[in-house]
């Protein structure tokens, strides 16, 4: 029987997080050396991260950069997709960030991906395109609260 748990990210988890980042099939890094251990550590210092373990193995993670007010990472191992892990991590992260007093968050993702469709479906607004070609999404605390009300209605 598989057991799942959601936990705060610690520095000891970074190798597992990076392994998931390198395993994804969408939003693949063009240069695997672009993201380093120091990058993960910096985000943990400036924000917070969450992970999901299934049978003691990291299945996905999410990280928010509070200094820059952006969603820095949300990745689920390809073998663990479509189990609600990403949605749960994303919701935990965004709820937490807005509870800290941030008024607006932003994120970027590659166009024509599942991530693009998911963010749009969760109330995030497309606000432009980055120089990299990625789509920029933004969401205010008020917009998130309105979405959350719908999400948690029974």
Alpha helix positions (H), 24-140: 37-46, 85-99, 114-121
Distance CA 24, CA 150 (A): 30
* Residue 40, token pair as written in the block: 């993960």
pTM, two decimals, is 0.90
Give residue 26's pLDDT: 80
Residues 6+ apart with CB under 8 A from 8: 48, 49, 50, 51
| pLDDT tens sequence across 36-84 | 889 999 999 999 999 999 988 899 999 999 999 999 999 999 988 888 8
Q: How many separate domains does the chain show?
A: 1
For the domain that residue 119 is a member of, what is the CATH number? Answer: 3.40.630.30
Kindly list the distances between the CA atom of residue 53 and the CA atoms of 6, 25, 48, 60, 77, in Å, as whole numbers in the listed order: 6, 20, 17, 7, 11
Q: How confident is the model at residue 154 (pLDDT cuts 50, 70, 90)?
A: low
Instruction: Give me the residue label for tokens 């432009």.
Output: 128
Domain that holds residue 14: 4-151
Mean of pLDDT values over 108-129: 92
């Amino acid at each position: 029987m598989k057991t799942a748990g959601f936990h705060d990210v610690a520095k000891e988890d970074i190798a597992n997080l990076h392994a998931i980042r390198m395993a994804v099939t969408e939003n693949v890094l063009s240069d695997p050396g672009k993201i380093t251990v120091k990058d993960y550590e910096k985000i943990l210092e400036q924000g917070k991260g969450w992970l999901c373990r299934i049978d003691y193995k990291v299945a996905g993670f999410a990280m928010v950069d509070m200094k820059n007010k952006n969603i820095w990472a949300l990745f689920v191992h390809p073998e663990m997709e479509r189990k609600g892990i990403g949605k749960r991590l994303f919701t935990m992260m965004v709820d937490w960030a807005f509870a800290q007093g941030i008024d607006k968050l932003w994120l970027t993702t590659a166009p024509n991906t599942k991530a693009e469709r998911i963010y749009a479906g969760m109330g995030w607004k497309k606000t432009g395109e980055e120089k990299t070609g990625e789509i920029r999404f933004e969401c205010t605390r008020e917009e998130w609260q309105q979405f959350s009300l719908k999400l948690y209605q029974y």
